A and B are shown apart, each in its own frame.
Chain A
Amino acid sequence: MSAANEPVAGGAGLVGIVLVSHSGPVAESVAELAVGLAGGGAEAPIAAAGGTPDGGFGTSAELIAEAARRVDRGAGVALLADLGSAVLTVKALIAEGDELPGSAQLVDAPFVEGAVAAVVTASAGADLTAVAAAAEEAYGYRKE
């Protein structure tokens, strides 16, 4: 397993970030990318929850819940998801009420850009609202 699958050391009091993708390697790779681009200040705990437990494509509620618990430092958990069932499963888990840490929030953001923004912001010690806002703002950076 890559380092991205493990929460970054430290992170006490920081917002945790979970990346939910249909693919394990995509989730892990985006987590690594975000941590790498955040530079030396990247301390926010981040976990990848990609694919199914047997390594296939899809969404696993179990992996998501486990990842959210792993990065929860009491300051909230921001979840970013890629497509269809990843988004719906996170929403359904939050609606369940007791599957994710109470402060868990699905962030409406582009997956890669949002992950980078979330990690940078969370590592600076921002609260969950600010982390979510930073990730959502990533939709505003047009590419043409």
Chain B
Amino acid sequence: MSKTAFDAALIVRWMTVSAAAVDREAGRLTELDAAIGDADHGSNMQRGFTAVVKALETEPPATPGAVLITAGRQLISTVGGASGPLYGTLLRRSGKGLGEAPQVTAEELRAGLQAGVEAVARLGGAAPGDKTMLDALAPGVEALAVSFDAAAEAAERGALATVPMLARKGRASYLGERSIGHQDPGATSSALLFAALAEVAK
């Protein structure tokens, strides 16, 4: 696993690279959501991450944990759809897990994110296989034990693996069988976060 030490600036960079990825892929996320959701995932995530970047610029937090807590709070407040509380909880709980250390190791970051992913599973009552963001988050966090690149690949594979799944949570679950054959937008955006993390961890 990477020997990189993560300070607040590096976590801020993770958030800004994530925001750029969300911005770039917003159209695709909304297209995916149009097939099985309410066609707003891209614009919701864009609004949320724009607020995250602005908040981090205005008042840069001093620790990695505080960066994630600030980012999570912005997502809960501004997204307007289910991805707000879910991503907000992911980042906040991960940030709380990091405590107040000015720097964290890759292993500590992995453990924090693990706690965040578990909190998302509890909040949404979902498990891997339900065709949700957890299908990218769970394998991504697991592969973090190997490397950041492995985590990005595992999350991307996890997102692709949602295509044949039957949705059991959220609005897509109302579609039943018709949810099959479409990639889950939440898993797709989750894979973007892991790709961004791998990019900044290099």
Q: Which residues of A approach B to under 8 Å, CB–CB?
A: 52, 56, 58-62, 84-85, 88-89, 91-93, 95-96
Contacts and interface: CB of A to CB of B under 8 A. Distances in A.
Contact of A92 (B40, B81, B85, B170): B85
A85 B124 CA distance: 10
Contact of A96 (B44, B76, B81, B170): B76
Contact of A85 (B73, B78, B85, B89): B85
Nearest to A84: B82
Secondary structure at the A interface, as helix, strand, loop or mixed, is helix
In the A-B complex, the 3 residue pairs with the closest CB atoms: A92-B85, A58-B80, A85-B82
* Residue in B73, B83, B88, B171 whose Cβ sees the most chain A Cβ within 10 Å: B88
A89 B76 CA distance: 7
B182 interface: no
Contacts of A84: 81-82, 170-171
A59 to B, nearest CB: 6
* Residue in B80, B92, B124 whose Cβ sees the most chain A Cβ within 10 Å: B80
B80 A88 contact: no
Given A93-B85, A96-B92, 16 more contacts: A59-B80, A60-B80, A61-B76, A61-B78, A84-B82, A84-B171, A85-B81, A85-B83, A88-B123, A89-B84, A92-B85, A92-B88, A93-B76, A95-B89, A96-B73, A96-B76
B80 A52 contact: yes
Contacts of B78: 61
A103 B73 CA distance: 20
A92 B120 CA distance: 10
Interface string B84-115: 11101100100000000000000000000000
Contacts of B84: 59, 61, 85, 88-89, 92
